[in-house]
């Protein structure tokens, strides 16, 4: 096989990897849900603890590896294709480590998380093929003559397409989220009491300067992803932020088998004065626990709920529990115009009511007007 052709393929593969890892990285840092099929497999994998090494998303390491492989391919062009064996060994080592890591993560996702991340599989395929081609190239006698201009054009095209692709997906995901936010005329008339009629759905002092009401599904990957950010703001607000929650379970949707029973269990928890204790546990849990009834029941038991009572009431399809959950959802649709979870409504004195999704809630609450309210003396 012609070494020049192999090097060109390696360059294209590296930039394809930059695109895939770049989209995954942007989605993680932006809190955006990837287009990844009906079962939201990418989000489930991204929310699992295995998706981070040393607190850094695995996608960031992948992005770094692909950028290095792209640089090595370009460097070989400048050095007469291969130049020195050290460049080949570097590429072989990077792609070899990447292939092993991809294989382990893919096995874990399929057998432990039980989710399929199409973007992750694409990255694993790119890295594996890269390693195979490096192994072939390392057996060829080098250097060999090559067309530097053609190779440089391929590298430039790869850089342009990968960055353009990442920007396109980021803009596309942002657009989808923005389009689902309730519009201004509806928000101008909306009051907290229109959404939350039971104070047990609220946590935080009534004197709080800002109230944040979330419509969410306890088995929603995007809700779980944004939870620690909102909770962090709540903890640092010194009593100036009050949080409310309303059920919006996606029951009947693939991958959301525990959404409705989980919401019903949280209603049982509410009757015991443990609504927020259970809800916080659910959102802090990993996606695997939230997606299985055994996991949900285990969390309910941790907060002190009677699992025998829970199972009995679920088997009987307790209408009282179901009615409350469905009424939450009805209000969300008919009164608040909710179309996606999570949807947040921010109420504060002196500022217009704002709606947000997981992609922009943190940005809104850390803007100057809200920072002043959240940092103010709670007693003032």
In this prediction, residue 82 has a pLDDT band, given cuts at 50, 70 and 90, of very low
Segment 363-367 mean pLDDT = 90
Q: Residue 154, SS3?
A: helix
Segment 17-28 mean pLDDT = 88
In this structure, what are the phi and psi dihedrals at residue 147, rounded to the nearest 5 degrees? Answer: -90, 105
Q: Is residue 317 left, alpha or beta, with left meaning phi > 0 and alpha meaning psi from -120 to 50? A: left
Tokens 């009401």, located at residue: 213
CA distance 68 to 62: 10
High-pLDDT (> 90) share of the chain, %: 46
Segment 284-310 mean pLDDT = 89
The answer to whether residue 312 scores a pLDDT higher than 90 is yes
Tell me the per-residue pLDDT of 154-195, one tens digit each, with 9 for 90 and over: 888 888 999 988 888 887 766 666 666 777 777 888 999 999
CA distance 218 to 340: 13
The answer to whether residue 39 scores a pLDDT higher than 80 is no
For residue 37, the model assigns a pLDDT of: 55
The answer to whether residue 3 scores a pLDDT higher than 50 is yes
The answer to whether residue 16 scores a pLDDT higher than 70 is yes
CA distance 29 to 46: 11
Alpha helices in the chain (DSSP H): 3-30, 41-47, 58-78, 85-108, 118-137, 148-179, 184-189, 192-195, 221-235, 259-271, 275-284, 287-291, 293-302, 307-315, 319-334, 361-365, 368-375
CB 116 within 8 A of CB 39: yes
CA distance 196 to 208: 16
For residue 175, the model assigns a pLDDT of: 61
In this prediction, residue 113 has a pLDDT band, given cuts at 50, 70 and 90, of confident
Provide Rg for the chain, Cα atoms: 25
Q: Residue 284, SS3?
A: helix
- Pairing type for strands 210-216 and 241-247 reads parallel
CB 60 within 8 A of CB 202: no
The answer to whether residue 38 scores a pLDDT higher than 60 is no
Tell me the per-residue pLDDT of 264-275, one tens digit each, with 9 for 90 and over: 999 999 999 999
Q: Please state, in angstroms and as integers, the Cα–Cα distance from residue 95 to each residue in 65, 134, 157, following that order.
A: 8, 8, 22
In this prediction, residue 380 has a pLDDT band, given cuts at 50, 70 and 90, of very low
Tell me the per-residue pLDDT of 122-138, one tens digit each, with 9 for 90 and over: 999 999 999 999 898 88
Nearest by Cα to 267 from 204, 170, 369, 198: 198
High-pLDDT (> 70) share of the chain, %: 88
In this prediction, residue 143 has a pLDDT band, given cuts at 50, 70 and 90, of low
């Amino acid at each position: 096989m012609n070494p020049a052709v192999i090097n060109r393929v390696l360059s294209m593969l590296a930039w394809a990897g930059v695109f895939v890892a770049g989209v995954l990285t942007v989605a993680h840092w932006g809190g955006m849900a990837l287009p990844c099929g009906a079962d939201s497999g990418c989000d489930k994998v991204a929310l699992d603890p295995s998706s981070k090494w040393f607190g850094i998303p695995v996608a960031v390491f992948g992005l770094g590896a692909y950028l290095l492989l792209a640089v090595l391919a370009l460097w070989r062009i400048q050095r007469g294709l291969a130049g020195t064996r050290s460049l080949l060994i570097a590429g072989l080592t990077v792609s070899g480590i990447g292939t092993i890591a991809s294989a382990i993560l893919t096995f874990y996702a399929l057998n432990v998380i039980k989710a399929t991340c199409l973007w992750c599989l694409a990255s694993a395929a790119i890295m594996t093929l890269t390693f195979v081609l490096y192994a072939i190239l390392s057996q060829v006698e080098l250097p060999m003559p090559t067309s530097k201009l053609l190779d440089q054009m391929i590298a430039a095209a790869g850089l342009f397409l990968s960055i353009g692709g990442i920007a396109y997906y980021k803009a596309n995901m942002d657009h989808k989220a923005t389009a689902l936010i309730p519009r201004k005329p509806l928000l101008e008339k909306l009051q907290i009491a229109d959404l939350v009629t039971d104070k047990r759905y609220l946590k935080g002092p009534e004197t709080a300067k800002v109230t944040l009401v979330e419509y969410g599904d306890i088995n929603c990957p995007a809700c779980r992803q944004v939870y620690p950010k909102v909770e962090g703001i709540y903890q640092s607000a010194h009593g100036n932020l009050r949080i409310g929650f309303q059920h919006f379970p996606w029951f009947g949707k693939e991958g959301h088998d525990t959404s409705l029973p989980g919401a019903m269990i949280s209603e049982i928890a509410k009757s015991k004065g443990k609504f927020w204790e259970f809800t916080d546990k659910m959102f802090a849990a990993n996606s695997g626990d939230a997606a299985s009834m055994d996991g949900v029941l285990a969390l309910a038991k941790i907060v002190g709920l009677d699992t025998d009572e829970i199972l009995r009431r679920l088997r009987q399809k307790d209408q009282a529990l179901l009615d409350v959950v469905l009424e939450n959802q009805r209000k969300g649709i008919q009164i608040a115009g909710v179309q996606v979870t999570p949807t947040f409504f921010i109420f504060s004195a002196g500022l217009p009511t704002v709606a947000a999704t997981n992609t922009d809630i943190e940005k809104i609450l850390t803007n100057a007007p809200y920072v002043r309210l959240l940092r103010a003396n709670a007693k003032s």
